[in-house]
Amino acid sequence: MRSTRWWALMAALPLLLGLALTTGSQPVRAQDPPPRPPLAPTAEPAGDSDPKPTPVPAGRITGTVIELGSGAPAPGIIVRVGDAVLTTDTHGNYDASGIATGTYMVALQLTSEQGVAAQEPLALDLAPGAVLVQHLAFRAPTPVMAAPLAPDTAPTPAALPNTGAADESVIWLVLALGLLTSLGGGALHRLGRG
């Protein structure tokens, strides 16, 4: 009984090895972007019986700055919201919270190395307690490409070894050996019973 198990294991091992060589690697899914900041304004406490004037709830202007060439959020970009100067975070978000009701000019303040704004400065009317989401965009300058080398001065690249690929003939050989070993093990098992 013990030798039968050994033969079965020996017969299955090359077959499993061949199957392992034929399966390729699976692509890895990219991470989801981080969540945006919450957009709900804070509520005023209820039940105050003091007859003093009711304060006007502050508002908020927030958004994401996008580079149009890549479609990616742009960190480190200066955004003007009224008199406030904000810088986008690592995810391209800006946030002016706790600001009073009124009309605010919102604009990108870009250097020539960063690019050109895709829209003119925007006038946003902020109501009491409102949250305005205004996404902004710009176009980065096109990078200057170096002139290509002349054909006679271009270095000849060295051939690199193919280290990640398996030869198809080796895979089929391993699968055939596994199949033959399995059949031979089964035949020996039957002979041992009979």
In a domain, 96, yes or no: yes
122 lies in which domain range?
A: 59-139
Region at 76 (left for phi over 0; alpha for psi -120 to 50; beta for the rest): left
pLDDT band at 183; cut points 50, 70, 90: confident
Question: Which is nearest to 62 in space by CA: 96, 35, 109, 85?
Answer: 96
pLDDT in tens, 129-177: 999 999 999 999 887 776 666 666 666 667 766 666 666 676 777 777 7
In a domain, 90, yes or no: yes
Contacting residues for 157 by C-beta, under 8 A, at least 6 apart: none
State the average pLDDT over residues 20-33.
61
In a domain, 130, yes or no: yes
State the average pLDDT over residues 93-119.
94
Residue-level length of the chain: 194
The predicted model scores a pTM of 0.49
What is the domain-level CATH number for residue 100? 2.60.40.1120
In a domain, 100, yes or no: yes
State the average pLDDT over residues 34-55.
65
State the average pLDDT over residues 34-41.
66
